[in-house]
Amino acid sequence: MIQLYRVTKYYEGVPALRDVTFSVDKGEFVFVTGPSGAGKTTLLKILFCAEHADEGQIVIQGMNVFRLNPSSIPYLRRNMGFVFQDYKLLPHKTVFENIALALKVVGTPYGEIERRAYQVLKKVSMETKLHLTPPKLSGGEQQRVAVARALVNEPQVLLADEPTGNLDPQSGQEVFRLFRDINMKGTTVLVATHDWETVRKMQRRIITMEHGRVADEGRHQTMRAGETQRHNA
Amino acid sequence: MRGYGLFYYISEAFHGLRANSLVNLLAVGTISMAMLIVGFFLLVFFNLQPIVNALGDRLEISVYLKDGLTEHEKDFLVSRLKAEPGVRKVVYLSKADALAVFKKELKGQEALIQGLGENPLPDSYEVSIERPYADADRLEALSKKFSGYPGVEDVSYGKRGAEVLSGLFKIITYGGTALAVLLGVSVVFIISNSVRLALYSRGQEIELMQWIGATKAFIQGPFLIEGMMLAMLGTALATGILAGVYYALPQEVVLFLSRPKGLDFLPPSVVAYMIIGCGFLGLVGGLVSVNKFLE
């Protein structure tokens, strides 16, 4: 589903990613963890074609990102949902309109928009608040709407960058529960987070990044006390 | 590939127009001022053109003949004159007819020619010229050519009139074109700025649309139509104002312009071309800003 081979990215000569190599299979749930500045966000931005890698190879859903024509990027993104730390909801549009925009962008017929928006909002338990604007919702609710927007076009891959960074622990847990349910229905999920408590609880594959490199890759079982302290720092 | 058609882009463009109503109102006002100048100029042009054409039709070259030409020589000369490109009509004026015309023109002052004795005027051919040939340079060239024909004593034409006419047409054509280009560029600039402001005000939404897979055309569409509508609205307003002023114009002004038919308003086809043309400029203005913004 996703393959990276020796991906390197520089910002003004300073490497943000160095020789990053890993692959994610279809239907996998992967956490990308590491301290701030480790390169998690850069990695996700590259996967989402918001940034270009300077070196290496990236293949997403069989498409070589390096050979991708700029006009093809929107079509790749339609198969990938993205959840942001700051939700990126349009504040002047209602919950329904925020979801509808994602459907309109891909050319969904008008008749289908209402039904599909309602269905996806029901999935994240926000169907009763579809006429409210984001500022009237709590952080957790806003993130659930953002997840709904990412899912409404039924993407094969869901990418999330610190999705619980602005949420209280309980709301964070709800969002991760949503990700788990989505993953169980077959969507590949890649989440960048430094919420070690959740990572530990969910028992999924973890890619640990440090200084732009993949420091460790594998299924998390237990964490040494020293590591916990370092990651929580 | 499914997608939204023109209806979606138009409804989004209307939404954009409403969202930035003040900025758009200013843009429409500025465009209408620019197009008012263009419209006024076109109005003058369309009303002046028949006058200039009528003056052009009156331009003639007088080809004076040597005395004692035989009929055969005259026929030969006429056929040569008629064969010349740009010659519309050739009328023979005998010396007796010329004197009669002269007398008619000097009505009340016949005494001036009483002492002339024998008719001093020569036979002549009055050569009418087709409108496109009635400019100073071409008339000069034709006159030179005619004067070289056998049997021709002298050639004259309304040199001053032809020069004035040519100058007038040049001013209208070149001046009008320059003004239209200048104002056209202004329209593109105004629209480009207005659309840029709309883009900045919706920057967050555009960025998000890119993230969720919107194509460039999907993002561009409403802004291009918005630019087009602003320009068309401005032009429609300008022609509306112009029409209002035209119909409110006192009859004396119309008479002052000395056209028996009166002053005509712009033909509907010209108004349509103005609106469509300006709409195209608005499209270009929108395209400039959107492309720059999406880069």
Q: Å from A104 to nearest chain B CA?
A: 8
Q: Å from B231 to nearest chain A CA?
A: 27
Query: How many Cβ atoms sit within 10 Å of the Cβ of residue A44?
Result: 21
Residue of A nearest to B207 (CA): A88
Residue of B nearest to A48 (CA): B211
The predicted model gives A76-105 an average pLDDT of: 90
- Of the candidates A88, A105, A109, which has its C-beta nearest B214's C-beta? A105
Q: Å from A229 to nearest chain B CA?
A: 35
Q: Å from B282 to nearest chain A CA?
A: 25
Contacting residues of A for B1, CB less than 8 Å apart: 107
Contacting residues of B for A75, CB less than 8 Å apart: 213
Position A199 scores a pLDDT of 84
Position B262 scores a pLDDT of 56
| Interval A73-86: pLDDT, tens | 898 888 889 988 88
Under 8 Å CB pairs connecting chains A and B tally to: 46
Taking an 8 Å cut-off on Cβ atoms, the answer to whether A90 and B216 are in contact is no
Best B212, B216, B219 residue to mutate vs chain A (most A CBs within 10 Å):
B212
- Of the candidates B2, B210, B213, which has its C-beta nearest A109's C-beta? B2
Q: What is the pTM (predicted TM-score) of this model?
A: 0.70
**From CA B240, how far away is CA A158, in angstroms rounded?**
55
Structure token pair of residue A194: 């430094």
Position B257 scores a pLDDT of 55
Taking an 8 Å cut-off on Cβ atoms, the answer to whether A107 and B210 are in contact is no
The helix/strand/coil state of B270 is helix
**From CA B120, how far away is CA B74, in angstroms rounded?**
19
Q: In which residue ranges of chain B is pLDDT below 70?
A: 1-4, 56-57, 108-117, 159, 162, 251-263
Query: Crossing angle of helices B203-211/B176-201, nearest 10°?
Result: 70
Residue of A nearest to B9 (CA): A104
Residue of B nearest to A78 (CA): B213
Best B9, B211, B216, B291 residue to mutate vs chain A (most A CBs within 10 Å):
B211
Task: Tell me the DSSP string of A176-215.
Answer: HHHHHHHHHTT-EEEEE---HHHHHHHT-EEEEEETTEEE
| Interval A115-134: pLDDT, tens | 999 988 988 888 899 899 99
Contacting residues of B for A90, CB less than 8 Å apart: 204-205, 208
Position A224 scores a pLDDT of 39
Determine which of A13-22, A107-116, A121-130, A215-224 has the lowest per-residue pLDDT on average. A215-224
- Of the candidates B1, B208, B209, which has its C-beta nearest A107's C-beta? B1
Taking an 8 Å cut-off on Cβ atoms, the answer to whether B209 and A109 are in contact is no
Amino acid at B256: F
Q: What mean pLDDT value characterizes chain A? A: 85
Q: In this structure, what DSSP letter does residue B267 have?
A: P
Q: Å from B26 to nearest chain A CA?
A: 24
- How many CA atoms lie less than 13 Å away from B127 in the CB half-sphere? 29
- Of the candidates A77, A107, A153, which has its C-beta nearest B3's C-beta? A107
The predicted model gives A174-178 an average pLDDT of: 85
Determine which of A156-165, A211-220, B35-44, B103-112 has the lowest per-residue pLDDT on average. B103-112
Alpha-carbon separation of residue B125 from B63, B92, B149, B226 (angstroms): 5, 5, 13, 63
Alpha-carbon separation of residue B180 from A139, B172, B245, B276, B286 (angstroms): 56, 11, 21, 14, 19
Determine which of A16-20, A141-145, B51-55 has the lowest per-residue pLDDT on average. B51-55
pLDDT band at A232 (very low <50, low <70, confident <90, very high): very low
- Of the candidates B4, B208, B213, which has its C-beta nearest A74's C-beta? B213
Q: Å from B16 to nearest chain A CA?
A: 14
